[in-house]
Each structure stands twice: as structure tokens, then as C-alpha cells.
Amino acid sequence: MTASGIILAVVFVSLLIVVHEGGHFLVARWCGMRVLRFSLGFGKPLVKWERGGTIYQIASVPLGGFVQIAGMNPHEEVDPEDPAIYPNRPAWQRMLTIAAGPVANYLCASILVFVYFMAFGMPTQFKPGIAMVVAKSAAAKAGVQERDLLVSIDGKAIAKADEVLPIVRASDGRPMVMVVKRAGQELTLTVTPEKQKVGYRIGVLPAEISTARRAAAFGESAWESVRYPAVQSVNMLGGLYLMIRGKIKAEVSGPVGIVKAVAQTTKSGAEEVLQIIATISIALGLFNLLPVPALDGGRLVFLGVEVVSRRRVRPTVEAAVHTVGFMLLLGLLVFVTFKDIQGCFPGK
């Protein structure tokens, strides 16, 4: 990774956070709510300025961001007759405001994919290949690289990406010969599967890799770019389901890991950067829609209960639930960030 790649990665990830929080901000303003603060990061402000009654700031801990809307904190002293505070707005406006962050990420991903289709064309041919190689895995040690096309494994020709896992699983850990095609040349590699809790694995994510493209019309690109976030969200949820069931190894990255992945991709050109930024934007939107306390999805659950029961959940109860959720998520974030930093120093 180069210094310029890391800087670009930090900028790209920060922009995705701004997009997410900007969605909340714009819809809150449109719904007549008073926004007190728009922050990129948490903790002590490094830079801040005020405009239109809102304080904009860049904070010292770059692990996300937030928009502070008047009245969202139940311990905040507010005028109950003030129409500009969050709890005094109709439920549908509050739901729109909360949902606007993930929607903004999906919209951002659609725009990036549209630019990708118009600039590089629509994929028309796919072949089984390697979408990701886990660091320090058996495949990484053998020299397997991302976007390698799969020819055969253990003497068996590969026609589809989903044929890889059964072959690896049946190896019982013995070394296997893997033939891949890279830059038009076939390479023969020897990889030794490693035994994990879920069976033998080599540390790759097989996928159908685009190998040919054609020029795309404006209308077709627009339609496919709108579909793309939905299709990818379904795939991500499927992967999450398999992860929960223990069918695949849990691989979770925090901000450091994400920046590292983007920084590595910057060496491959604009095409790869557009793809990974769109994917991260979709993942950010989907993650925030999960019905987990402290996330946008958790807040939407409480609003849904309010709409159905026509009774508002006690603010102190909701705040307590979100606080517990926030602390658990913060603990998870610290853990994965530590693992990400540890991964930056192999052998340490």
C-alpha cells in the first residue's frame, strides 16, 4: 500500500459516511426538524463551523459520524410545544429521516455503478474465478491472487464458482494442484487446505468474474444500476445467513480493514475502485438497516411499533435499549479494529 493509496481510501470512506449522514440531514431539514450538529467522526472536534443553525465538525475519532437532531435524546431539555424537534414530528416523517441514511448509500452505489457501466461497458461473459483472497490463508501462501480465473482444482475442471468448496472440503487436507489463468497465461499452483471449525478451507471467495463487456445504452445502464444494490443486498444477506449458521468463516472488517482493502484496490485503477466503493456503500446501507439497537434499523423497529400500536414507546426505555446496543457495537468495533491493525503487521 502506498501513502497516496491510503489517503485516497480514507477520503473515499469518509465520503460514504458523509453521504449516509447527509441523507439523514437533508430529510430531517425537509421535514422541518432542527439539526444541531453534523459530525464526521466522534469525540473532540478538530475543526468546526456553524451555518444555518447547524454546527458542522470533523472530530478526532474517525470511526463513523452522526447527525444530532433536536429532541432525539430523551434526556435533552426541549420545549414540548416546539414543532421543530424530532418527537413532535409525525411518525412517517421520523421514519423517512431515519431511513434516509441507508437510502442515500444505496443511491450513491447506483450512481457509481451507472458510471461504471457507461465508462467500462456492461459485463456479458463470466467465468469462475477468485473474488477475494484471505490474508495469510492457504491460498495466499500458494500465490493465488484476486481475479485469477479458475481452470481446474485437484484435476477437476471448474465450470462454476460453487464447485470449488465441495472439492476443497473433500480433500481432507492433502495438497491440491490448482490451475489458474492470469493475464492470459495458465499457472499451476499447489495449495494445502487448512482445517477450520467448518471443515477444510483454502481462504478464497469464488465468484463469477467478468471477462468480456459490451457498450451499454443509457437506459439499460440506468435500470441495471438501480437493480444492482438490491441484488447485492440479497447476496450479502445470504452470506450473513451462512456465516451465522457456521457454513462459512466469519470475516468482519472495521474502518481500518475497509481502508486497507480500498487502498490496495487503488493500484488496480478506476474500474476496481468504483466496484469496491459501490460495494462498501451497499454494505453500509444494509448494515444500518439491520434491526439492531442503536442502528437505523433498530430505530425503525421502534417507530414501526409506534405506528402499529398507535402508542409511542417510552423514550427512556428506547434510549436504554439503544445505549446497550451502542455499547455492544462499540465493543465489536474495537475488537475488529484491533484485528485489522494486527493484520497490518504479519508475524507480530
Task: Please give the Cα distance from 36 to 54 (Å, whole number).
Answer: 5
Half-sphere exposure (CA, 13 Å, Cβ side) for 325?
Answer: 17
What does pLDDT average to over the chain?
Answer: 84
**Mean local confidence (pLDDT), 114-129:** 86
Q: What is the pLDDT of residues 273-293, one digit of tens each?
A: 888 889 889 999 999 999 988
Nearest partner of 112 among 259, 282, 233, judged by Cα: 282
Residue 81 has pLDDT above 60, yes or no: yes
Architecture of domain 124-214: Roll (2.30)
* 187, amino acid identity: L
Task: Please give the Cα distance from 182 to 114 (Å, whole number).
Answer: 28
Q: What is the pLDDT of residues 169-212, one digit of tens each?
A: 888 889 999 999 988 889 999 999 988 766 788 888 888 787 77
The CA dihedral of 296, 297, 303, 304, to the nearest 10 degrees, is 160
Give percent of the chain with pLDDT exceeding 70.
86
- pLDDT value at residue 322: 86
Residue 109 has pLDDT above 90, yes or no: yes
Contacts by residues 245-251 (CB-CB < 8 Å, ≥ 24 positions apart): 246/197, 246/198, 247/198, 248/198, 249/134, 249/196, 249/198, 249/201, 251/134
Instruction: Among 19-23, 44-48, 262-266, 271-275, name the one with the lowest average pLDDT.
Output: 262-266
Residues 6+ apart with CB under 8 A from 230: none
49: helix, strand or coil:
strand
- The residue ranges of DSSP E strands in the chain, in sequence order, are 35-51, 54-69, 122-133, 149-153, 156-157, 176-182, 185-191, 194-196, 199-201, 204-214
**Mean local confidence (pLDDT), 162-168:** 88
146 is a catalytic site residue: no
Task: Please give the Cα distance from 290 to 19 (Å, whole number).
Answer: 18
Most confident of 123-127, 130-134, 303-307, 310-314: 303-307
- pLDDT value at residue 135: 74
Residue 345 has pLDDT above 70, yes or no: no
Give Rg (Cα) of the chain: 23
- As a whole number of Å, the end-to-end CA separation of the chain is 18
The residue ranking higher by pLDDT, 41 or 271, is: 41
- pLDDT value at residue 11: 77
Most confident of 102-106, 114-118, 154-158, 190-194: 102-106
Residue 86 has pLDDT above 60, yes or no: yes
- pLDDT value at residue 49: 93
Q: How many other CB atoms sit within 10 Å of the CB of residue 321?
A: 16
Residue 168 has pLDDT above 60, yes or no: yes
Task: Please give the Cα distance from 154 to 177 (Å, whole number).
Answer: 5
Which among 21, 146, 194, 306 is annotated as catalytic?
A: 21
Q: How many other CB atoms sit within 10 Å of the CB of residue 134?
A: 15
- pLDDT value at residue 347: 47
- pLDDT value at residue 257: 64
- pLDDT value at residue 268: 63
Question: With bands split at pLDDT 50, 70 and 90, how would you rate the model's confidence at 254?
Answer: low
- pLDDT value at residue 261: 66
Task: Please give the Cα distance from 275 to 284 (Å, whole number).
Answer: 14
